[in-house]
Chain A
Amino acid sequence: MSSLVPVAAAIRRLLKTPAGGLWLMLSLTCPFASQAGNHDALKADAAQYFRDRVTPFVKTYCLPCHRSERPTRAGVNFTPALKTPEHAAFTEQWKKADARVMAHDMPPKGAAQPSDDDRRMFAEWLPKLKYLSDKDPGPFVIRRLTKPEYANTLHDLFGVPTSVADGLPDEVAGQGYLNSLSPLQLEQYLAIAENVLRQVVAPPGHKRTDIEKRLFGPSARPTGDARRAAREIARSLARKAYRRPPTDAELDTLVATFDLGTRNKLPYQQALGLMLKGVLVSPQFLFITPAINPVGEAGPNTGIVPLDDYQLASRLSYFLWATMPDQELMTLAGRGELHLPAVLQAQTKRLLDDPRSRALFDGFGAQWLNVGGLQRQVFDPALFPQMTPALRQGMYDEVRLFFQSIVRDNEPAIRFVDSDYTYLNGTVAAIYGLENTVQGAEMRKVRLSDSQRGGVLGMPGILAATSLPNRTSPVKRGVWVLEQVLGEHVPAPPPDVPALDKQDPAAVAHLTLRQRTELHRTNPVCANCHRILDPIGFGLEKFDAIGRWRDRDTNGQAIDSSGELPGGKRFSGPADLKTILAQRNADVARNLVEKMLAYALGRKLEGYDEIVVDDLMADLAGGEGKNAGGGGKNEAYRMRDIINGVVTSYPFTYRRIEAQRSLHEQN
């Protein structure tokens, strides 16, 4: 996620302060105090600060070039941002402006320059920005079911194998997700629906299937009027497939598809089959939609409302199980009880205790830790013949079981970084050099005595995912730690990076990877980021590209995995690095909370969400886990508490119904 905390990181990185900068400053970032109570006061303060100080600054130094005109200069326009600074559309713009101003990139040379005090004033504005946002849960964004969600839902509805959906294109879920639907995909949905029908509805004259009886009723012929019978079947089908009771208009539509079948001389059961196909290509099935006010019926047109219980059931179920709500959730929703905090928490616990909650890893965890692409990742088969499908699967399963154990045992978030156990089978154990202790194909929990291992930093799956096909990449590993573990945003390298090895290429060829990577720091443009990235990567250099421990590199040279982070923190390998990261408990937890909340909401966090996260962090820091199952260790930010916090949070349980015209469109 490239928002919230990273803002601070980005600015501080560009603050041309002497050594110490980022790492030191961030490690001093104090836990977030709860500001729920004095939000109004903070908001008033931020508004005043913006009006009295920021506005004159922008008018003097930015607007002369970056104002409403065609074409805008570098695509940057401050005229609308001055009118509604808190609008999500401008968040990124404020961040970049701050970074550029602090780096003395802007205003450009030759233009009037603000004093250093003014620059600092401008930088101090950014953390206040969030307080301008009104209390707002955000809209309920309708979204298409992802491929795994779609497959699981079909499985739950009809008992068909999830492989029926294999033909659909893969997708990247969550934030920034390309949520489109093309004709190609619609054809695939039609094809899959046809395929499901063939498995569910017996051809005329054949024995009816069990699922057919369950869906269409015990009798092969309608009792009484066929259309009326079809309408009742449509009602029960739609309640399941649309995950809420259908409206009359929706029933009319479905009965019309039944009529189409009848007109085309289909027997009763086949006409019902056609109706079922209609259900499966309807947007109400393919998309997670908000509650519908029956057409013509009054309902709130705008404003903030609690999610209705059916929506909440879907949101919860797709979040934790990646599938439709089961009978129990639907019953509670029907009774209007699901939103009650005690009920919601009990259901969260039930869902997490169910094996289906592995979907939380497959959907969220794998994406967060970047191991989703492991099966497809290219490794040079000559160098790494070990990277068989079985090893790749084992590596993935190790990360998965570890993640699931943290959820199951309500471990603190920092356990991801610092733990003394993992899950291995014989294949993965060979990477650890534990092939004599752990054998066989089955994954099992293993205590680790080696403090270099334990936690995601020492896991082969993660070390491999951050490597190149033929070698390790200290830079990729450094970026991974900063972005995935600490939630900082690492900007892309500038486009015209001068060649690292302007020197004699032959001489460079003799350098170790470390020495070559260290060339980054001879160039001030590169050094800014690389003095943080590279040491972290060096700290992990004793793990090779597939996670094996080594003391020498491929050229036989000894590996130096020691380093110093800005601020003077020294380390001499993965174990030290883990200890240093463990001290940043709150940053690790906050990153997890932010990423998980964005995943659960299916949208990017913005504006008021930042305050929600602040409050959640304050709650979670409070020592004892509320429903701790992990032996009462007094550690903050426990995993189930985080999940409960997300599920009961304001944006998860409420929604804003958008006004007819959004600001977006006025621009």
Chain B
Amino acid sequence: MSRIDRRACLKGLGVSLSLPLMDSLGWAGVPAGKADKPPVRLGFMYMPHGVIMDQFWPSSPESFLSSPPPALESLRPVLDQCVVMKGISGVPIAPFNGAPHALELSTWLTATLPAPEKRNEINIAISADQIAANHVGAFTALPSLELATMPQTWKENQEGLNEGYYSHCSFSSPTQAVPAEVNPRNVLNRLFNKQGGNTVASTPLSELDRGLLDIVLGGARDLRRTLPVSDQRKLDEYLDSVRSVERRIAAIEARQKEAALEKAGVRASNRRASDSPPIEIRIPEGEKRSEYMQVMCDLNILAFQTDMTRVSTYIGSTPNGASYPELGFNDQHHSNTHHNNDPEKVRKIALITEFNIRQFAYMVKKMASLREADGTLLDNCIMMWGSGLEDGNVHTRENLPFIIAGKGGGSIRTGRYFANTRGNQGDLLTTLLACAGVPNDRPVGIATKQIAELKAQA
């Protein structure tokens, strides 16, 4: 019975890790020495099963900042840098009515239904985060960062759907789900190019590895030619992965060269001396969910701050259900969502929602405290928190809960609540991509328009 034993991974790692020569690094893809705007970063954070509506939605646009609803209380210090919109509807899920939880996650960033005739395979659409990664990922060591706190191996196939739909929201192509990393140590190693996930000694990916992969790639192409079409497609995933790792090694090497030049004073950094230094990462020793979720938040912040990536997706938990002993009860998230207005269950769901939003608030508040260029890191980010259902009790999707934090480099006007937005989740994702400067020739999923009121300039 093999499994990831998170505790084993984390044990003895309660140490702060200092970071290699990142202080001087500027933004990739920007001519050095030019005082340029930092890039816009785009982050998504997910919670399953919806919210208790009367505790989530603000009572009015006017009172949004002065007396936010209970669920948003933890965001109060940065509410002026947030937007909440009511009226964003989800993709109608017929003919998958019997699988609301697979759909709430898999449609979340795709705004698209799985192909009904190929439901037992992954066949959906590229997700918004991966569209962004395709555009800006070439500049950074990681095209995008995918984080999760639960293994993505839930086995269930309601409505005959592939089980991958229960645990993935990022898709790099219609047929390829992007796995998320659950081990903070592995994330750190990836960000700073150390190999050997759970070993202490680690060696970086090297130019030699790139050469090796190049040769192996050639051999794999030969193999591919001998295979039938359906198997060729499977091998394509392998080939794509090899190419992607090759690109990543090249990007890392290029950045290391820049850093060396900057350090030697040969070229000036476009990062300002007044910018906050990279944050410290402290990998927790215990099993507390809040600490686990927060170290993943920290890694997300660090990755943005050091421009290791500009796109992140963080599945706070998957629909098969986390449990929250810290909140004083041990039953699983999902078992309380069908509360039928039982006050005790409603209380638990409200607590779970508040807990999740508090972790998001932890992340964006920290971003707001980090100086970057003329403002803060958060000023240059678009952080979206949300759930795939409105009301987990009855699986409604008419008003999906979303919180947007950050000004997106000036593209979003914040501090507002819209009580009557008209649009769907595809419209919202399309708008966010546009705000992040991602040229999008096609709307995301079911989108038909952009949501004008969100933008600083409509």
Contact = CB atoms under 8 A, between A and B. Distances in A.
A74 B94 contact: yes
B179 A169 contact: yes
Contacts of B94: 74
Interface stretch (B60-68, B327-335, B347-355, B418-426): B327-335
A381 B181 CA distance: 28
A604 B120 contact: yes
B183 interface: yes
Given A494-B98, A658-B230, A469 B235 contact: no
A662 interface: yes
B410 interface: no
Nearest to A372: B1
A253 B2 contact: no
A183 B117 contact: no
A493 B163 contact: no
Contact of B203 (A194, A281, A493, A657): A194
B216 interface: yes
Nearest to B321: A378
B228 A470 contact: no
Nearest to A376: B3
B209 A249 contact: no
A491 interface: yes
A281 B117 CA distance: 34
Contacts of A403: none
Interface string B209-226: 101110110111011011
Interface in A324-349: none
Interface stretch (B14-22, B35-43, B152-160): B152-160
Contacts of A505: 340-342
B196 interface: yes
Contacts of A170: 2-4, 151, 153
Interface string A270-299: 000010011001111011011011010000
B250 interface: no
Contact of B216 (A75, A278, A380): A278
Interface in A186-233: 186-188, 190-191, 194-195, 198
A190 B230 CA distance: 26
Nearest to B323: A378
B234 A142 contact: yes
B238 to A, nearest CB: 5
A511 interface: no
Interface string B99-129: 1100000000000000011111010000000
A665 interface: yes
A92 B160 contact: yes
A555 to B, nearest CB: 16
Interface string A576-617: 000000000000000000000000000010000000000000
B208 interface: yes
Contact of A375 (B1, B120, B122, B209): B1
A219 B186 CA distance: 38
Given A92-B160, A260-B208, A492-B98, A292 B223 contact: yes
Contacts of A183: 240-241, 244-245, 248
A139 interface: yes
Nearest to B223: A283
Interface string A468-489: 1110000000000000000000
Q: Which of B99, B163, B330 has the most CB of A within 10 A?
A: B330
Nearest to B340: A499
A283 B235 contact: yes
A188 B197 contact: yes
A167 B241 contact: no
B100 A89 contact: no
Interface stretch (A114-122, A172-180, A557-565): A172-180
A111 interface: no
Given A260-B215, A292-B223, A295-B225, A89 B117 contact: yes
A396 to B, nearest CB: 6
A76 interface: yes
A396 B4 contact: no
Nearest to B164: A178
B279 interface: no
B223 A284 contact: yes
B195 interface: yes
A665 B233 CA distance: 12
A446 interface: no
B59 interface: no
Report the interface size class on chain B: 35 or more
B153 A171 contact: yes
B230 A662 contact: yes
Contacts of B220: 282-283
B227 interface: yes
B29 interface: no
A469 B331 contact: yes
A614 B332 CA distance: 42
Contacts of B230: 139, 141, 658, 662, 664
Interface in A621-667: 657-662, 664-665, 667
Contacts of B218: 253, 256
A112 interface: no
B199 to A, nearest CB: 6
Interface string B390-424: 00001100000000000000000000000000000
Contact of B208 (A274, A289, A293, A495): A274
A181 B238 contact: yes
Interface in A149-183: 151, 162, 166-167, 169-172, 176, 178-183
B32 interface: no
Contacts of B158: 492
A522 interface: no
Contact of A194 (B117, B153, B196, B323): B196
B55 interface: no
Contacts of A74: 94-95
B332 A469 contact: yes
B7 to A, nearest CB: 10
A2 interface: yes
A493 B98 contact: yes
A287 B222 contact: no
A366 interface: yes
Nearest to B154: A172
B177 interface: yes
Contacts of A69: none
Contacts of A657: 228
A435 interface: no
Interface string B274-312: 000000000000000000000000000000000000000
B162 interface: yes
Contact of A378 (B151, B211, B330): B330
B242 interface: yes
B216 A172 contact: no
B100 A180 contact: no
A184 interface: yes
B100 A495 contact: yes
In the A-B complex, the 5 residue pairs with the closest CB atoms = A167-B197, A75-B116, A253-B219, A492-B98, A191-B195
30 contacts: A2-B160, A93-B117, A141-B230, A142-B234, A142-B235, A143-B234, A148-B2, A151-B2, A167-B186, A169-B179, A170-B2, A178-B177, A179-B234, A180-B164, A186-B245, A187-B195, A188-B197, A194-B196, A195-B196, A253-B219, A282-B220, A283-B235, A292-B226, A468-B332, A491-B98, A492-B159, A496-B395, A505-B340, A659-B228, A665-B229
Given A176-B163, A190-B209, 20 more contacts: A75-B116, A92-B119, A142-B227, A170-B2, A170-B151, A170-B153, A176-B162, A182-B176, A182-B237, A191-B195, A195-B199, A249-B219, A253-B219, A256-B215, A281-B212, A295-B225, A366-B1, A379-B330, A501-B340, A604-B120
Interface of B: 1-5, 93-95, 97-100, 116-120, 122, 146, 151-153, 155, 157-160, 162-164, 176-179, 181-183, 186, 190, 195-199, 201-203, 205, 208-209, 211-213, 215-216, 218-220, 222-223, 225-231, 234-235, 237-238, 240-242, 244-245, 248, 323, 325, 330-332, 335, 340-342, 394-395
